[in-house]
Each structure stands twice: as structure tokens, then as C-alpha cells.
Amino acid sequence: MEWIADFLVFALCYAGLSCLCLAMDRHYADLHGRGAEPPLLLRRRLQWGGWLALAFGLAWAMHHSGAGYGTVVWVGSLTGCGLLLIWLLPYAPRHAMLLARVAGVAALLAALVLALW
Amino acid sequence: MSASAQTEKLPRLRLPEALRYRLGVASRSVAAIVGGYVLAALATMLLSVCLPMVRVEAVMTATLASFAIYTCAVLWVFATGSALRAWLGLLIPCAIMAAILQSMDALSWSLA
Amino acid sequence: MKEGFRQSMAWLHTWSGLLVCWILLLVFCAGTASYYRAEITLWMQPELHAAASNTVSTEQAAATAQSAMQERAQGATRWFITLPGERNPALQLGWSKPSKPGEKKKGRRGNFHSEKADPSTGEVLSKPRETRGGEFLYRLHFDLHYMSALWARWIVGFCAMFMLVSIISGIVTHKRIFKDLFTFRPKKGQRSWLDAHNVAAVLPLPYHLMITYTGLVTLMFMYMPSGVTTAYKGDQDAFFSEAFPARAGEAKAAGVAAPLTPFAPLVRQAEQKWGAQVGLVSVNLPGDANATVTLRRAGGRDMSSKQPTMEFDGVSGKLLATYGDDPGGASSTHGVMVGLHIANFASPLLRALFFLSGLAGCAMVATGALLWAVKTRQKQAKALAAGKRPGFGLRLVEALNIGAIAGIPIAFGAYFWANRLLPAGLEERPKEEIACFFGAWALAAIVAQLRPTRAMWRLQLTVGAILLAGLPLLNVFTTQSHLGVTLFMGRGPVAVAAFDLVMLMLGLGLAYAAIKLKPLPARAAKAARPAVKADVTPDTAAGAA
């Protein structure tokens, strides 16, 4: 069960960071062509969603593993997700975003599993 | 007359300029590496005896913090305006801390 | 330096980083490998792979250890027993004997005997080939090699301070550190190297700060003893016995023989008190009337390296003292900092994340050095185009770059190949394996100096790729525990399969870097602009490192 809890943190971090990246001009353009900018409403939603996902990730990590260990897991997950994203975005932006959706769904599933057990 | 005097001066200025730069860098490097360490060590000593906690805890805290102090000293040495200021900025606090420690009769053990 | 704060910090960042980067690269590579040193050691002892990892309770394991030690460790004055845990399914037994009179003193290492045993039967696990395994890599990253440990630790500490200064000055000087956080523009020459360096350095910035500072902290009493000597008036021993209670008691032998109390009930008592497993059992003067048994709690997920201990009378089993139950704030902080550096507490996922961040650190150092060389080459572009030789500094840096960045993977590869190819009964086998590590590295570095060109880079990266990616294949011919067995038949050990896969991936990364270093077309070769170089991603950069 421990790995599911760790995975939930990781999935939330990936989904959250992807949203935040997509809200940035540079990476929105990676997906939709040079010069494209996200419409204001979408940008707001992505930023809110992104930060919320990250916050949930931290809260869950601290709840499950204690304040210290949880923070370390969260920071480590952010690093890992960040590196993954920075590798995918220039070369395969669509895959990066697809993975973000998968991560979101996986996070929900993991949360469900953890809630029921 | 004055024009030729001017053009004579310039070549002589150029060499010391480069040399002065390198000497400045060398001076600051020594100040940062050696002087910074001395500053951090003295600060550690002072904190170890002055912090209002159990002795073993004070020593731990001071030693843990010493590397941060060292780093700040190094950064300051290279950020400040001249090599002279770098040296003074290290020597003066060192002297003050050494004096305080000496008055507390705690300085001699540093050389152990 | 007189230009302004940011510029002076940029200058400091460059030089504090560049001057020590090649040593730092070694430290980072060996240190990152150390996260999995137990698994590396297991991989390097294929005789142990088939041993069934029977899971027994720690009580039973301790009892088994006790009877095994009584049998095999006659005449020893201290016993050390590491009980099976998450990373090591075997019992680790160690004991030290005093030198016999007349026998040449072998030093601490020579008098210490250690072996691995099956935790359910106490039998010595079939004598595996002698190797330092992952422990060599762990020691390498702070004790270096072929020099006294004291010198090595001062050198590494010096470099670590340089690195700390480099990190902080790098943060201070980077104007748009957060805005540029997710910027990576491949295929843009010097700009891409800078982006790669930024990505490898800034994304894992908390890690880099942590690992550098905590690294200094692990040896802080050596680097900064002035606090201790001042507050304790020179009596360092007094400080250490206050700060780290229950260190090796120097009790004297009574000279009267007395049977050692059984361990199992002591382990049970300790585990009940702590609600956690016992990790280490050490015995002082076994078989003597003054014997003591000390049990140390296994850390588990607790981040501190300082765990409570319980000391028992070795004959009666009575509890004498408990230590470390209530550490002060600063002591706990110190314990957590050391614990964070060594990361024994980490779950498998977290350990993998630490490892990934460590690889990013290797990439950060390597890309930094390469960036400087590329930038300097551009600065000297006019002179070079006019036919002049590159400046001394540039030539030196480029030579060191190829020697370190391409050479270190070759060294690692050679070490692992030597483990498989050297005969098992070879005299001084561990030393020979280590000699292969340094020998291969020296050879690569020397050859690189003869013609430090792009072709040489490609050659050495290719050699590194073949050595690392070839390990799983080598396993097929030299062991019974290759990927066919460990992965596809699912028999494990998992650690061995994972090692093979990671080596394969790193090797492929190096191969990718080598392929991308296509030779420059003839026209561009004369121009100073560094044309399309390797497509640098953090992964290939990590692989190249």
C-alpha cells in the first residue's frame, strides 16, 4: 500500500505541473503553434487546478508519512516530474499532455483505492 | 607637448591594469578561502559559548550553521567594491569576535 | 568584479564551479551510485543470488546469529550483527579479534572478519567471490582512493564548499530563475548547453542544496572543530560522549568466563518498547563476565541517522541503560541532516527519486564544464579562425572534460566487467577490481590527451556505452542470474534485474550522445560557431556524465 500512497503524490505532482506549464505562453505554444496564447479563462483554470493539485499532493504526503518525510517525498516527486516534463515538452508535447490526463485519472483511482482500504 | 606626454602615459598604464586585476583576484581568493574560514570558525566559537542553550546543543547549532556563515563571507568578499574592503570587512569582525572571546577567556582553546 | 553585484556573482559562480568540477563529477557519480550500494554489492556477488531469502522474524534471526557466532567467532572481543532488513535479506556477521602476540599488527581492517549468513540456519552463504562491491563506490565519494582518508576528506570538503558557494552565487545571479524554470531549447548550440545546465541545476535545486550542505555536515566536526574545542576547553571526548552517548564502551575484561545471555528475549523486549524492529546488535567482550549487549533500533522511515539504543548486561540480560530516546533540537537536526544525506530511510520510490536527482547533479556538473569550454571557444573564435592555437586554459579544460566526463563511465564499466571476468579465487581480488577501475580510467584519459577531438569524444562515449549496456549481455555468459532468469522467468533477485536494466539505459544514453556527436561538415569545421552538437536532454547529459 505504501507504493500506492507514494504514487498518488507523484501523479498529483505531474498533473499539477503539467497544468501550470500549459498555462505558460511558451509551453502552450509548444502544443498549439508559435505565438499561440491560452485564453484568459483557460489560463486561470489551469493555474488554479495546477496549484490545487500540488497542494493536495503535499497535504496527502504529509498526512500519510508525517510532516518531514512527506515534504521530502513531495519535493522529490516535484523534481522527478519536472525533469520528466522538461524532457517531454520540447520533443513530444502531445505525449506530455496525454500523460498528464492519464496521471490525473490514475491519481483519482489511487485516491479511491486508498480511501476504501 | 602635452599630447605626446599623454600617449606616452597610456602604454605604461595598460600593463599594471591587467596585473592589478589578477592581484585583486588573488587577494580576494585568499581572503575568501582563508579569511572566510577564520571568520566562520570564530563565529562558531562565539555562538558555542553564547547561545542560550545546553552546551552540547549550542555547539551543535553553531557548528551546523558555520558553513552558511562561511558561504556568506565568501560571497561578500567577491561582491564588495575592492580587495581592501574585502580584507577589512573580514578582519574587523574577526578582531571583535576574538576580543570578546579573549575577554571570556575562551580563545586559547581554539588553537587546540 | 567591479561591475556590479550580479556580474560579480556570475564570475564567482563560474570560477567556484569550474575549478573543482572534475573532482565533483567523480563525487557525484560515485555518491549517486551509493544510493544502491547494497544492491550493487549483491549484483557483484552472483553466488548469493540463488540463496533463498527466507523471511524470519528478527528474534529468530538474532538467535541464529548468536549460535553461529559462538561457533565461529571464538576469541573475538567485539561482535557486530546486522539483522536482515529491507535492503539486505542476509544476516551480516562481523567480529574483531585482538592480534595474537608476535603476529604483525594488521590494523583495524585486518583484525576484522565479516561474513554473510542465512538468517534461518546460520550457515555461511556459499563463499561469494571477494569484492568491495558498492562499498568501494560509497567510500570513493569521500575517501577517494590511493591516498590517506584524512587528505581525501579535506579535499572533498574543500570542493564541497566551492560547490556550495557556486550554488548560492548561481541562485543570486540568475535573474529569471523561476520564469525560466521550464525552458529548454534544443538544437541551438551554446544556448542549449546553457538550458541543459539550468534544467539540471535549477529543477533539482532543493536536492543540490540539501546534498551539498548535508555532505559537509556529515564531517562537520572534522571541518569545523573550533566550536567543540572552545566550549569544552579542548576536551573533545567529553563533547562526543555527551552528544553521541553509548559509543563503544571501553569496559575492561573481567578475565572470568561467563556464558552470554540469549539474544532473542532482549530483541523481543526492545521491539516491544520501541514498537519498531531492531537493526543492529553489538556485543562487547562476549563470553566474559563484563560482557554487554547493545541493541540499536532500525531506522525504518525515520529520517534521523541517530536511533535509540538499549544496553543490556551480557550475562544476566538485565537492562542497564537506554540512550537517545529524547534528543535535543540541535542533535535531532544534526541527525536528520546526516540521515537525509545517507537516505537509508527512503522508500523505494523516494530512493529512486534521490537517484534521479543525483544523476541530474552529474549532468549539472558536466554541462557546466562543457558550457564553459563552448563559450570560451566562441570568445576565441577570431583568433582560432586566424590559425592560432586555443589558449592554455581552454586546452586544459577541454582535456580534463573529455578525461572526466567520458572517462568516468568507462571506469565504472571496467569495474563491473572486472567483477565478472576476474577469476573468483584471485589473490587480493577486491584490490584488482579497483585497479581495473582506475586503470581503465587512466588509459582513457591518457589516450584522450593524444587527440582531444570530437572523434575522440565519440570514441570514448561509444566505449562507455558498450561497457555499460553490455553488462546484461555479459551476465548471460558469466552467471546464472542474467535478465533471462531474473526478469523474464521472474525469479529475481529484483535488485539484480534492476541493475542490469539501469546499466542498459545508461549505456543507451551514452550511445545516443555519441551518435548525436556527428562529425562537423568540412566548412563548419573551420568556423568558430559550435554547430549542431549533441541533442542535449537531461537524460543524455546524465548518460554522458
Q: What are phi and psi of C415, to 5 degrees?
A: -60, -45
CA of C149, closest CA in chain B: separation in Å? 21
**Can you spell out the DSSP letters for C352-399?**
HHHHHHHHHHHHHHHHHHHHHHHHHHHHTHHHHHTTPPPPHHHHHHHH
> Dihedral (C-alpha) C488, C490, C495, C499: value to the nearest 10 degrees?
0
Is residue C200 a contact partner of residue C367, using CB atoms and an 8 Å limit? yes
Q: Is the dihedral of CA B3, B4, B5, B8 positive or negative?
A: positive
The number of C-beta contacts closer than 8 angstroms across B and C is 117
Whether C1 and B25 lie within 8 Å, measured CB to CB = yes
pLDDT at B52 over 60: yes
Q: Tell me which chain C residue has its CA closest to the CA of residue B72.
A: C165
Which of C12, C230, C247, C334 to probe by mutation at the B interface, max B CB count within 10 Å?
C230
Who contacts B86 (Cβ-Cβ below 8 Å, separation ≥6)? B27, B28, B31, B32, B35, B76, B77, B78, B80
Chain C partners within 8 Å of A26 (Cβ):
182-183
End-to-end CA distance of chain C: 32
Q: Which of C459, C323, C457 is nearest to C399 (CA)?
A: C457
Chain B partners within 8 Å of C221 (Cβ):
63
Whether C5 and B79 lie within 8 Å, measured CB to CB = yes
Chain A partners within 8 Å of C349 (Cβ):
3, 6-7, 10, 73
| Share above pLDDT 90 across residues of chain C, in percent, rounded to a whole number | 37
C537 reaches A (C-beta below 8 A): yes
A102 reaches C (C-beta below 8 A): no
- Mean pLDDT in residue range C324-334: 86
Query: Would you kindly state where each structural domain of chain C is located, as residue ranges?
Result: 5-45+139-217+344-544, 55-125+246-323
Chain A partners within 8 Å of C336 (Cβ):
68
pTM of the predicted model over 0.90: no
Residues C37-79: pLDDT tens digits?
999 998 998 887 766 445 677 788 888 888 888 888 887 888 8
ipTM associated with this complex: 0.90
Which of B37, B54, B71, B85 to probe by mutation at the C interface, max C CB count within 10 Å?
B71
Q: What are phi and psi of C128, to 5 degrees?
A: -80, 160
pLDDT at C103 over 90: no
CA distance C371 to C352: 28
Chains A and B share 3 or more Cβ pairs within 8 Å: no
CA of C533, closest CA in chain B: separation in Å? 34
> Dihedral (C-alpha) C396, C397, C399, C403: value to the nearest 10 degrees?
130
Grid cell of B24 as nine digits: 585583486
Residues C212-222: pLDDT tens digits?
999 999 999 99
Residue C493, preceding peptide bond in cis (omega within 30° of 0) = yes
- Interface of C to B at Cβ within 8 Å reads 1-2, 5, 8-9, 11-12, 161, 164-165, 168-169, 172, 213, 216-217, 220-221, 223-224, 226-234, 239, 242-243, 328-331, 333-334, 337
Instruction: Return per-residue pLDDT of chain A as tens, 117 residues.
Output: 678 888 999 999 999 999 998 888 878 887 777 777 878 888 899 899 999 999 999 999 999 888 889 999 999 999 999 999 888 888 888 888 888 889 889 888 888 888 887
Who contacts C80 (Cβ-Cβ below 8 Å, separation ≥6)? C92, C93, C94, C95, C114, C280, C281, C282
pLDDT at C419 over 80: yes
CA of C8, closest CA in chain B: separation in Å? 6
Whether C230 and B45 lie within 8 Å, measured CB to CB = yes
pLDDT at C169 over 90: yes
Chains C and B share 3 or more Cβ pairs within 8 Å: yes
Which pLDDT belongs to residue C101?
61
Is residue C44 a contact partner of residue C416, using CB atoms and an 8 Å limit? yes
Residues C423-441: pLDDT tens digits?
888 888 899 999 999 999 9
CA distance B62 to B106: 15
B78 reaches C (C-beta below 8 A): yes
End-to-end CA distance of chain B: 66
Which pLDDT belongs to residue C327?
80
CA distance B14 to C397: 28
CA of C429, closest CA in chain B: separation in Å? 40
Is residue C45 a contact partner of residue C134, using CB atoms and an 8 Å limit? no
Whether B109 and C230 lie within 8 Å, measured CB to CB = yes
Residues B8-46: pLDDT tens digits?
555 555 557 888 888 889 999 999 999 999 999 999 999
Distance of CA C314 to the CA centre of its chain: 35
| Share above pLDDT 70 across residues of chain B, in percent, rounded to a whole number | 82
C353 reaches A (C-beta below 8 A): yes
Count how many domains chain B has.
1
Strands (E), C74-200: 78-82, 91-96, 112-117
Residue type (1 letter), C232: Y
CA distance B32 to B80: 12
Is residue C504 a contact partner of residue C467, using CB atoms and an 8 Å limit? no
